[in-house]
Amino acid sequence: MSAKPFIYMGYRPILFKKINNRNRRFGCILEALLLAAALVGCGSVPLPSESTSAAEIFDPVPGRLNTEQANDVTLYALGLVGTPYRYGGNTPETGFDCSGLIGHVYQSRAGIKPPRTTAELSFWGRSIPQEILQTGDLVLFGKSTIANHAGIYVGGGRFVHAPSTGGTVRLERLDARHWQAQQPRFRRP
Give the angle subtended at the CA of 129 by the CAs of 124 and 135, to the nearest 5°.
70
- Amino acid at site 122: S
- Residue among 120, 140, 135 at smallest CA distance from 187: 140
**Cα distance between residue 72 and residue 69, in whole Å:** 5
Question: What count of residues does the chain have?
Answer: 189
User: Which is the catalytic residue, given 28, 104, 149, 178?
Assistant: 149
- Residue among 189, 168, 185, 162 at smallest CA distance from 107: 189
Mark whether 104 is an active-site residue: no
Mark whether 28 is an active-site residue: no
User: Which is the catalytic residue, given 28, 42, 98, 178?
Assistant: 98
Mark whether 149 is an active-site residue: yes
Q: Is 37 left (phi over 0), alpha (psi -120 to 50) or beta?
A: alpha
Active site residues: 98, 149, 161
